[in-house]
């Protein structure tokens, strides 16, 4: 099966799972997910499953990427987005089609190099991949129209919320082990934040430091 056919099946599955944002679906269709996984498991790239990318990390399932992006974007074209836990660069590639500029933070140096290489291969030129500890976001690039976190945190720190523009959204998994939930935070125009717990998820933990 060609990746084009596999991608088309993935898109139909995402629609059945409740992904309705046309720009998110278009981005998921356009970005070749198999480029971001090891050659030996590329035949699984468009399956609904997370896959190992080395260094004890995974690439999130297509639905997890799609719902996170859909929640963050709300059908709008964004200016600047922060991704925390960039991994192999796949979600950054999706976000590059949804925002004018993407800052992707990854703590593992080998994954940073791999992500940069894959993004160059796809000629993605609006993503900056930083080798940095993203535990508290990336204040140097703030404020952001959206923040998407791709690793589980015990809680969402105020320092990260404060990097949102008024009206902007933050999507992050919160919890540990098998008990994690996807949390949606919105920076209210009048000040303060709203927080909503959505569905159960499973992510690797967000660790501090650089390795």
Catalytic residue IDs: 60
Q: What angle do CA 136, 76, 168 make, to 5 degrees?
A: 30
Q: Is the dihedral of CA 49, 118, 12, 2 positive or negative?
A: negative
List the structure tokens of 117: 């290489």
HSE-CB for 74 with a 13 A CA cutoff: 12
59 contacts 123 by C-beta, under 8 angstroms = no
Buried b vs exposed e over 155-172: b needs ≥16 C-beta within 10 Å? ebeeebbebbbeebbbbb
* 164-176 and 99-106 strand pairing: unpaired
Helix (H, G, I), strand (E, B) or coil at 93: helix
10 contacts 32 by C-beta, under 8 angstroms = no
Cα–Cα distance between 154 and 160 in angstroms, integer?
Answer: 13
Neighbours of 61 (CB within 10 A): 16
């Amino acid at each position: 099966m060609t990746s084009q056919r596999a991608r088309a099946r993935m898109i139909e599955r995402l629609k059945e799972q409740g992904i309705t944002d046309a720009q998110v679906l278009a981005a998921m269709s356009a970005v070749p997910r198999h480029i971001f996984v090891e050659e030996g498991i590329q035949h699984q790239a468009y399956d609904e499953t997370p896959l190992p990318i080395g260094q004890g990390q995974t690439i999130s399932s297509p639905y997890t990427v799609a719902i996170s992006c859909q929640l963050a974007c709300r059908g709008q074209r964004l200016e600047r987005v922060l991704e925390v836990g960039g991994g192999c660069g796949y979600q950054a590639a999706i976000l590059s089609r949804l925002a004018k500029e993407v800052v992707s933070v990854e703590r593992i140096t080998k994954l940073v190099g791999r992500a940069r290489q894959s993004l160059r291969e796809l000629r993605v030129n609006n993503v900056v991949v930083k080798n940095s500890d993203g535990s508290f976001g990336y204040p140097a690039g703030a404020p952001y129209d959206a923040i998407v976190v791709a690793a589980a945190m015990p809680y969402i720190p105020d320092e990260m919320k404060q990097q949102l523009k008024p009206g902007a959204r933050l999507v992050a998994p919160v919890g540990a082990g098998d008990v994690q939930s996807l949390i949606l935070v919105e920076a209210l125009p009048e000040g303060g934040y709203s927080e909503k717990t959505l569905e159960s998820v499973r992510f690797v933990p967000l660790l501090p430091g650089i390795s």
